[in-house]
Chains A and B, each alone.
Chain A
Amino acid sequence: MSVLSDITLRRNPELTLGRKIWHLNWGLVLLICLLAAVGLAMLYSAASGAWEPWALRQAVRFGGGVVLMFAAALIDIRFWFRLAYPVYFAALGLLGLVEVMGTVGMGAQRWINLGVIQLQPSELMKVALVLALARYFHGVSYADIGRPGYLLVPLVLVGAPALLVLKQPDLGTAGMLLMIGGALFLAAGVRWWKFLLLAVAGGAAVPIAWNFLREYQKKRVLTFLDPESDPLGSGYHILQSKIALGSGGLFGKGYLQGTQSHLNFLPEKQTDFIFTMLAEEWGMVGGLALLLLFFLVFVYGFAIALRSRNQFGRLLAMGLTINLFLYVFINIAMVMGLVPVVGVPLPLISYGGTVMLATMIGFGLLLSVSIHRDLRIPRRGPRED
């Protein structure tokens, strides 16, 4: 055992399982359970007051998710550090597999049938990308980040999955991957003017990207810009969602009383439009309460990121929080007609297996960062002993 590793060990004492559980961020766990409870209540309402077909299955998934979350939380962060790239490439491989053998759902290839579960690799990719970028930027010094050469690898890390997802085609997830990447670049310390350059380049790329879009995607963007132009066609979803929200008013129509949702005017109320149903039944008060719960989760995420003593943990916590934030923001903005309908679910609330899985693993990683906050990891990685 060398001197250095001895120092490392002294500064990074191995935590016992008991201490780890003691260090678990129980406030965050409570928030997560609260959000999941709200989700189950809404799924119960979506089925007009029945546990079948959604609420019960979602509850089981959440139970499984909690187990996964605790497992991920208790695993040493250095293990996750080492696993970052393999996980990333595994996710990338799955994305590639979707191309080959994916099931076509909603006019796009997004699913892999694993027998028990329909896997949506693009959801897992978001967590994997955060892991990979956190690991990469952890190894780059403050000075080196200013050098363009060091940006090549992370650009590829973001670009490769984004292109694959865009090809599925899933505009929402591709955009989210880019935004997660962008946020992590920013958090890692990439210089401002480069973002400016990127924004200009991105603006120039819009007309080119337009040509890559499928017909239904173009239509969605166009109806977003003018939803009332086609109230019975593509604008129907946005319009009905706005009607449901607006008619909910300040205090809502009451639990299980949403006319728009229960008379089926609201499409996909158990998945993408579940926030609309909540806001219809509980009104603006309910909507704001849910937003507040999520806001508290984000605050916890930031606190964990700022409190971490290693760059990997900081970036990982920040990336996961931003990932969650993007889900919440895009979903709610979408149902309120602020952004086009892109098919982004509301984590912990919407019905869906993979999103639940990815979200809970994400929380697990976040908790792991929190538990191992005082651990220092050298820039070149933890010593292999």
Chain B
Amino acid sequence: MDKARNEEQLRQRSFTRRALLLGGGMTAMLASLAARMYVLQVEESDRYAMLAEDNRINLRLLPPLRGRILDRFGAPIAANRQNYRVLLVSERARDLDAVLERLGDIVPLTREDRARIHREVARKRQFVPVTVAENLSWEQVGAVEVNAPDLPGVSIDVGQTRTYPYGSALAHVLGYVGAVSERDLTGDPVLELPGFRIGKNGIERLHDERLRGEAGTSHVEVNAFGRVIRELRREEGVPGQDVVLTLDAGLQNYVHQRLMGERSASCVVLDAASGDVLSMASVPSYDPTVFTHGISAAEWKRLTTDTLAPLSNKSIAGIYAPGSTFKMVVALAALEQGIDPDFRVWCPGHYTLGNHRFHCWKRWGHGWMDMHDGIVQSCDVYFYDIARKLGVDRIAAMAERFSLGVPTGIDLPGERDGVMPTRAWKLANIGEPWQGGETLVAAIGQGYVLSTPLQLAVMTARLVNGGLAVEPHLTRGFKVAGEGDERVPAAAPPIGLGAPELALMVRAMNDVVNGERGTARGSKIAQEGWEMGGKTGTSQVRRITKAERAAGVIKNEDLPWRRRDHGLFVGYAPIGAPRYVVSVVVEHGGGGSSAAAPIAKDVLLEAQRRDPLGAAPLPLLASRTQPG
């Protein structure tokens, strides 16, 4: 019995000792839990609280409203339209096919549309809306709303789409907006929003950052699966600024319509005094809205492979031999070199240099020609003669003062330079020395000489505005909700030509249209006070062989379109105090007097009738005060 009791006592004592030990260990372990809790919930609490907020709060960007583009009087020429879309949340639709079937009665859905919807539904999470159709009409929106009970998961959403009220008439100037591509990404997060559009060409691209505005943000609470629970905070973005152009939309529309009669042509109208571009048109054109919704591959191919280059803005990117419109520049170079304007040249219809014969456009010759008659009747032989005395480099130097062969610096992407050849230019670019005969060809604006319609318009403006180096521009300024800022135009510097010399040119150009023997006398403006002056130009695109010349030069009407001459005309009105300057190029139009001058006449008439320079433009308040 004692032994048993002893044994029991031993066991109990041992147990008690070890139980206390275990208890101590357990208490220590619990204390370690409490310590850990202290570290997490007190010491590192701030860090974890921040992480929890990061988890919970999602920043959503609110795309800003794109700024509009306005003409000089404030008429919108690029704006935003509400775009009604049908969205579908697949988890609420239950039977997707049945819903699409019913929706198909209201909004036509092709088989491809359905396939795309099914693909997107499969790819996205169940609660993420999928776009079913866009650009719904009011009737369709109403029908969807009325049938809402039968269309579970279907909702109408309003987005913004770019619209161009003048359509193709302004496509080349305004450009278009399109989806952001990989290389457009600059790190601005708004660019990564699905469906966001940026300017891809023209003014839309040039002023894209101003037009774009700044994205707003919406702080939303999301769960672990990304579902939005509620909006916590919202910061509205800054809408894009409106861009105000120098264009007159009405005149532009007229010019575009007038050009539509030609297969391929372009026309620029400038304010002679300021260089404001009042109109800039190019045909054929394209519909800029096709790019807004993503252009189809077939349409893109059609536009890019069309030999008439509808995507090209020929006013700044088409380069043409200026032909006889170049003759005033040669004449001014001659006057500067001291050649007497009364100096006369006998034109027998051709001019011989070495063993080569250079022809005048008039086969039987003009007889005695002085400078005035040389310009008015566009005598080639007169200019061959004085060009030989001058040399090509002097002509080129004068041309550069009129912005020929050098970029005008217009605020529009895609301007081409053209070419004004010199001896050095030919050696560097062609690798051969200059030939004497090439000087003669250059003097009548052919051969290597190439210029854009805009350059020709700038040249004309500088000729008739008293020799001021105006530069063309399209942007008047920017406007934000009543405020804005206007470009303060610097006074154009003179190009360094004397008034008598310029007056000589203007008088000659007046007689081109209004003189009895002028090449453009057929396009005379009869209304008193609105008369125009100008200069025709015809640029050859083919070589006329000796044999053809002997047999008689084939008339343009008898040639295939592509081999006909380009018709050019530069003009201004009114002749008393020139304000409007125009330059017209009709590709393969035949001659300057027959194809281009009538267009210039109509455009100048319309410009004076509308008289955009006579009316006050949209006021733009300067947002920054000038430093006194």
Contact = CB atoms under 8 A, between A and B. Distances in A.
Q: Do A and B come from one complex?
A: yes
Interface string B6-17: 011011101110
Contact of B52 (A247, A287, A291): A247
B29 interface: yes
Interface string A319-356: 00010010001001100101000000000000000000
A26 interface: no
Given A183-B22, A186-B22, A249 B49 contact: yes
Nearest to A338: B36
Contacts of A338: 32-33, 36
A129 to B, nearest CB: 17
Nearest to A185: B18
B56 interface: yes
A326 B387 CA distance: 108
B33 A246 contact: no
19 contacts: A142-B11, A142-B14, A183-B22, A186-B18, A242-B40, A246-B49, A247-B49, A248-B45, A249-B41, A250-B41, A259-B56, A259-B221, A260-B52, A263-B222, A284-B38, A295-B30, A305-B15, A311-B11, A329-B26
Given A189-B11, A263-B223, A294-B30, 5 more contacts: A247-B53, A263-B56, A263-B222, A298-B23, A311-B8
Question: Interface of chain B, helix or strand or loop or mixed?
Answer: helix
B22 A318 contact: yes
A251 B37 CA distance: 12
Given A243-B51, A284-B37, A338-B36, A314 B45 contact: no
B31 to A, nearest CB: 10
Given A243-B55, A264-B224, A329-B29, A249 B23 contact: no
Given A259-B56, A263-B56, A246 B41 contact: yes
Nearest to A253: B52
Nearest to B17: A189
A291 B30 contact: yes
A206 B12 CA distance: 35
Contact of A250 (B33, B45, B51): B45
Nearest to B44: A246
A237 to B, nearest CB: 12
Contacts, number: 137
B19 interface: yes
A130 interface: no
Q: Identify the 3 closest CB pairs spanning chains A and B, nearest first.
A: A246-B48, A247-B52, A263-B223
Interface string A237-270: 0001011111111100000000110111100000
Q: How large is the interface on A (under 10, 10 to 19, 20 to 34, 35 or more residues)?
A: 35 or more
Contact of B45 (A189, A247, A332, A336): A247
A333 B29 CA distance: 10
Interface in A297-316: 298, 302, 305-306, 311, 314-315
B278 to A, nearest CB: 60
A379 B49 CA distance: 58
B229 interface: yes
A246 B223 contact: no
Nearest to B33: A332
A189 B19 CA distance: 10
A263 B55 contact: yes
Nearest to A336: B36
A245 B42 contact: no
B225 A264 contact: yes
A283 to B, nearest CB: 6
Contacts of A249: 41-42, 45, 49
A186 B19 CA distance: 9
B34 interface: yes
Contacts of A262: 223
Contacts of A291: 30, 33-34, 37
B41 A305 contact: no
B52 A264 contact: no
Contacts of B21: 186
A4 B410 CA distance: 122
Contact of B41 (A248, A318, A332): A248
B571 to A, nearest CB: 70
A189 to B, nearest CB: 4
B37 A247 contact: no
A267 B22 CA distance: 33
B22 to A, nearest CB: 6
A279 interface: yes
Contacts of B29: 325, 329
Nearest to A241: B40
B356 to A, nearest CB: 80
B33 A333 contact: yes
Q: Which of A247, A283, A284 has the most CB of B within 10 A?
A: A247
Nearest to B54: A243
B42 to A, nearest CB: 6
Contacts of B55: 240, 243, 259-260, 263, 265
Interface string B578-602: 0000000000000000000000000
A288 B51 CA distance: 23
Contacts of A305: 15, 19
B47 interface: yes
Contacts of B8: 311
Q: Which of A188, A246, A298, A336 has the most CB of B within 10 A?
A: A246
Contacts of B7: 141-142, 379
Contacts of A242: 40, 48
B26 to A, nearest CB: 5
A187 interface: yes
A259 B10 contact: no
Contacts of B45: 246-250
Contacts of A188: 15
Contact of B15 (A287, A294, A314): A314
A193 B263 CA distance: 106
B207 to A, nearest CB: 42
A187 B52 CA distance: 44
A142 B49 contact: no
A183 B223 CA distance: 44
A247 B57 CA distance: 14
A275 B11 CA distance: 38
B48 A243 contact: yes
A246 B15 contact: no
B15 A311 contact: yes
B42 A250 contact: yes
Contacts of A245: 37, 40-41, 48
B19 A329 contact: no
A276 B1 CA distance: 55
A259 B37 contact: no
A156 B11 CA distance: 23
